[in-house]
Structure 1
Amino acid sequence: MNRIRGAHKAADKSIAVLPFINISNDEDNEYFSDGITEEIINALTKIEALKVIARTSSFSFKGKNIDIREIARQLGVAAVLEGSVRKYKNRVRITAQLINASDGTHFWSHNFDREIDDIFALQDEISLLIADKIRENYGHFNIQDQLVSTETKNIKAYELYLKGHFFQLKWDPDSIKKATEYYKQSIVHDAEFARAYYGLVQAYGLMAAWGYMPSEEGFAKAIEYFMIAQDLNKSLPEYGQSFVGRTFWMEWDFKATYKQLKETLHLHPKYTDGLEAMAELFIAHGKWSKAEEYIKRAMEVDPMSANHYYTQAHICYYQKFFKKALQLVEQALFINPDFVLAYELKTLCLIWLNQKDAFDMMVAGMEDADLKRIFFDVINNGKNSLNSTLVDEWKDAAIKSHMVPYELFIMANSNHKTEALQLLRQYVDQKRGQIINYRFDPSLEALQVFGEFHQLHQSNLTIEGADVSNANLQAPLNSHHKDLDIQMQRLEDFIHTKKPYLDPQLSLTGLADAIQIHPNKLSFLINERTQMNFNEFINQYRLRYFKSIAKDNKYAHLTIIGLAYESGFNSKSVFNAYFKKATGITPGNWLKEIK
């Protein structure tokens, strides 16, 4: 396998923001360029009708020399943004280019040079400009007046937060510990910076869940910082993620989890962590089709996420579709070769598929290889009797922090089912996250003959018929046809008298200001009345003007491209492409015909 299977069809109104390149003299400033990229992604994600590829997928191409058109094909987008960041002392320079994915041409670029104190305003300005350019080229959608809010006025606190987030996303224990130190320094500079507290919640939660520190200590710290963070800001998606981390994985309070996820996804409908968590909630209840709907929604905007492939693999695994689960988990490992949980799921698939050679290669060198080999023999070679001393040692296996409880699985599928049920009860009493789906685990199916198995834990949530539709929250404009006719006439009168299309820098926002109408309304008006996007609408006037002056001897001294620039076109490639699309022939051939 040398790439992710298949590609995604590009939606017209869609963009991938690739990691901005750090061109500062200090290589350590990479945290800042990564942070700026993620902030722009998060800002654009707030636009309901715009498909924005999530950070995980965009960053999977970081440092790779791949053609933009191929990246766009794999991600299923019509446009790609790339850029660079130079940070020096208290100034930052950002260069951004917006690229048409179909042909690789740049249709917008800009340089921004500001004081670093203006970073939030700059992020908002860049995001709004990008959204405007996509709308001008691909069709109408509403854009909020502001996409980036100022969450701290202390730039030092913000930079320290970005450093913490940068290290947290490395996912290894040393980096996560380093992240907590940066988050703590951040709140020293601003004790009311909610995102830094949520960073601490997630970092300590990860270290506790993965055994990088004592679980009780880690979860206690996570809850302590969560209580502070929620008092500061509950509107951030991190609030819902942190809340669910506690109610779902630590407390198995499915009702509270479902309620919070519904609220989070109502506010942030494209929040992939929330969508994935909802899929996991449905998995815990055996609602496979609903789980698939949510994880597929997440993959629409995050198609290169190893976690999403892993979740899909789990949906198949619990239904005993082991071959399909194996294919999906291999996709996850192709994206992230360090994904430990995916290796564990792959091992289980190989056991149930009785693929001995692949299994032996897989477990060679693993610390718990002996346990896995015993389980393989139990499932595939009829090994039913176990050493009594070994069984006695396993009775307290629940106090250990294994990712996969192989001792439990071995006993459940051998002649020691009673001991297995007792051990499972310990896991359930502790509400251990790794067995949260025990009701549907093929490795525990043999215990379902016991009535007690079904009484170990009762879900407090009934989710039959739960709505998983992705409602479009963008309300249509309520203009009457008569009002639209009046507005369209105003627009056309202005264009004919003022000829704004001759300005090569004309934008939808600039035209909206000139005729005193909101840009959202002007975009809707053009799209509704002409079925064109803004650029197509304006270029038709430029083309007419080009044809008129091309026949005028007064302009005989100008070349074709000179005539195009005189008509308001600002790019030779855009002019040639539009002319050919509109007339069916090249500008040169058209000129020969009329002469």
Structure 2
Amino acid sequence: MSNDINNEYFCDGITEEIINALTKISQLKVIARTSSFAFKGKDIDIRKIGEQLNVHTILEGSIKKSQDRIRITAQLIDIKDGTHYWSKKFDRELIDIFDLEDEISLTIADEVRNNFGHFEIQDQLITQPTNNIDAYQMFLKGRSLQLKWTPDSINQAIVCYDQAVALDKNYAKAYYAKLQCYGLLGMWGYMPYEEAIGLAISNLLIAKEIDTSLPEYPLSFVGKFFWEEWDFKNAYIHINKVLEINPKHIDGLEAMTELFIALGFFDHAKIYANKLLEVDPLSANNHYTIAHIYYYQRQYNKALECINYALTLNPGLELAHHLKCFCLINLNKKQQFSKFIDKSSLIEEKNLLFNLVNNEGVEVPNHLIKKWSEISKNEAMLVPYDLFILSNSNHKKLAFSSLSEMVKHRRGQVINYRQEPFLQPLHNMQGFKDLHHSSLQLSEVKLSQENTEKTTSAILNEIQIETLKDELLLYFKEEEPFLNPQLNLKLVAEILESNTNKISYLINKAFSLNFNDFVNSYRLDYFKTIAVDPKNSHLTILGLAYDSGFNSKSVFNTYFKKIENVTPRAWMKANM
């Protein structure tokens, strides 16, 4: 909402921080940045958004930054009827931004719990990563650039992260972010690999001395073990460490999916791919990932459905374009294939691969073989059409030699070589099974069970429930706290000398209600009592509702109709 367009990265960054904070609450399903941001700045019916994201509640808000102050508004909306069941405005100095992010996250979690039932909330969801607000702003700017995923934007992001650590040499997240950027530039071939890895390692050595509690720490080793060394067992161990810290970590879930795909453990891969889709349903990359599983299982029509949706979400996703080509080739859909690849790159290679797979007696032109032999290993194709073509031609020995070199150098393009349909003709060649031996076997894999719920006895046992229940009922009968429109779970917990998690659990367990319905049941009974009293005949229905503790006309009307199955006005006519 700020006049300065340059503040957008800051506002986006704060939004992502709140999203990430809420994901720490294990029983909450929170949609990730990619899918949430798909609706940013768009005028779309709230019910349509809820349907696309498969959620019951939308958090909507705005951020306005002006010099050293920030104003954040937030509201929770029920997607069934568009009811705004909570809204609040936060106005703070910028120096308090981390406390504000934590306050907003905790308040949102409280309000969702108040309306939908018990789940446990930590005392703190966001910790202060730096004492320097300028360093934080540079980090957020770097983050916004990194998420554009282009070589130029990643190099610009590194500059921002450098400025962040120059302002705060103990800013661990900035070092981890730089590490990831250098790793990407090295893997993509936009920086000499050895140089990139050296810079990544130097940042890791600094970051690990500052903070190893962040998920970024074990994640830093995943790239090394998985992509660089193909040490699948160590990769598996470190991905699990990431998910132990945060079971919904997008990069952790994606890495585990990719690991299981590489090993051919497709049932396991689907479990994690579906978790990705649950928290980030509008990510083109996630739909591409699950399409890959179907492709390797030779379920080409299913893969094609997922790929088409991925390309709808992101028409520029190059890897998805190639995978669609491969599905059409394996399905022998010539007309669709020709139309799809028109005006794309590598048309000669694509057509040749189609003909080799679907026709007999096709030869590979010598000029192509010569061209491929002149390509240095640092200029290898993003997708190895040359290898696929040779494998399906009379040049299988040359193909096997090329695959052997790529496996030897741990080229990411062939990490799934065991599963690739186009490499099937090489499987019976001597030495294929010895190209690489996985350090991780299926028998060693255990699907992690998220420890999302404590046992009943860990929260309240039966005796404690009965004792606290009696205290709660006595308090509501004698003190009538429900008449206070600002009554909240925290206030009730303080009066009963307990904590919000226990009181929330008590109300859910003992009354099968959420906190708001529990309180509103008292308000409704009080309303019905004073509404039929002749001395209150001069008061309006809304006035009586406010006198009963309701603080919103829409909340009162919605709750009244839900319980009584009639409107307040119809009830009044029937009972006066």
Q: Same fold (TM over 0.5)?
A: yes
**Equivalent pairs, count:** 573
Q: Match of 1:321?
A: 299
1:191 matches 2:172? no
* Partner Cα separation in structure 1 for residue 250 and residue 139 of structure 2: 21
Counterpart secondary structure, 1:51: coil
Q: 1:561-572 alignment to 2 at 5 Å?
A: 561-572=542-553
Q: Which residues of structure 1 form unaligned runs of 5+?
A: 1-22
Q: 1:179-578 alignment to 2 at 5 Å?
A: 179-388=157-366, 390-395=368-373, 397=375, 399=377, 400-464=379-443, 466-478=445-457, 479-578=460-559
* Partner Cα separation in structure 1 for residue 444 and residue 231 of structure 2: 19
* Partner Cα separation in structure 2 for residue 448 and residue 147 of structure 1: 51
Deviations 1:433-486 (A, max 9, x none): 111010110010000011311100111112326222533333134222122111
* Partner Cα separation in structure 1 for residue 257 and residue 401 of structure 2: 29
Deviations 1:71-103 (A, max 9, x none): 011111111111111111111111111111211
After superposition, the Cα gap between the structure-2 partners of 1:171 and 1:383, relative to the gap in structure 1 and judged at 3 Å, is farther
Counterpart secondary structure, 2:62: strand
Relative to the length of structure 1, the TM-score reads 0.94
Is the 1:397–1:423 Cα contact (8 Å) retained in structure 2?
Answer: no
RMSD: 1.5
Is the 1:395–1:423 Cα contact (8 Å) retained in structure 2?
Answer: no
Counterpart secondary structure, 2:7: helix
Is the 1:503–1:568 Cα contact (8 Å) retained in structure 2?
Answer: yes
AA of the residue aligned to 2:487: L
Q: Match of 1:5?
A: none
1:109 matches 2:87? yes
How far apart are residue 213 of structure 1 and its match? 2.8
Deviations 1:355-398 (A, max 9, x none): 22332233333332222222122112224433445435434657
Q: Match of 1:579?
A: 560
Q: Match of 1:30?
A: 8
Is the 1:135–1:533 Cα contact (8 Å) retained in structure 2?
Answer: yes
Is the 1:282–1:291 Cα contact (8 Å) retained in structure 2?
Answer: yes
1:162 matches 2:140? yes
Is the 1:211–1:401 Cα contact (8 Å) retained in structure 2?
Answer: no
Counterpart secondary structure, 2:561: helix
AA of the residue aligned to 1:311: T
Between 326-335 and 584-593, the greater mean CA deviation after superposition: 584-593
AA of the residue aligned to 2:391: A
Is the 1:265–1:274 Cα contact (8 Å) retained in structure 2?
Answer: yes
Deviations 1:114-154 (A, max 9, x none): 11110000000000100000000000001000000001101
* Partner Cα separation in structure 2 for residue 241 and residue 56 of structure 1: 20
Is the 1:100–1:107 Cα contact (8 Å) retained in structure 2?
Answer: yes
Counterpart secondary structure, 2:418: helix
* Partner Cα separation in structure 2 for residue 211 and residue 272 of structure 1: 24
How far apart are residue 407 of structure 1 and its match? 0.8
Is the 1:384–1:415 Cα contact (8 Å) retained in structure 2?
Answer: no
* Partner Cα separation in structure 1 for residue 369 and residue 558 of structure 2: 74
How far apart are residue 30 of structure 1 and its match? 0.1
Q: Match of 1:16?
A: none
Deviations 1:460-514 (A, max 9, x none): 1123262225333331342221221110000110111111100111111121122
AA of the residue aligned to 1:322: Y
Deviations 1:506-562 (A, max 9, x none): 111121122221000000000000000001100110011001111212211111111
Q: Match of 1:99?
A: 77
* Partner Cα separation in structure 1 for residue 482 and residue 133 of structure 2: 41
* Partner Cα separation in structure 2 for residue 584 and residue 361 of structure 1: 58
* Partner Cα separation in structure 1 for residue 224 and residue 465 of structure 2: 51
Counterpart secondary structure, 1:449: coil
AA of the residue aligned to 1:515: L
How far apart are residue 155 of structure 1 and its match? 0.8
Counterpart secondary structure, 2:58: strand
Between 296-305 and 435-444, the greater mean CA deviation after superposition: 296-305
Relative to the length of structure 2, the TM-score reads 0.97
* Partner Cα separation in structure 1 for residue 229 and residue 489 of structure 2: 51
AA of the residue aligned to 2:433: H
Q: Which residues of structure 2 form unaligned runs of 5+?
A: none
Counterpart secondary structure, 1:269: coil
Identity %: 50
AA of the residue aligned to 2:87: S
AA of the residue aligned to 1:333: L
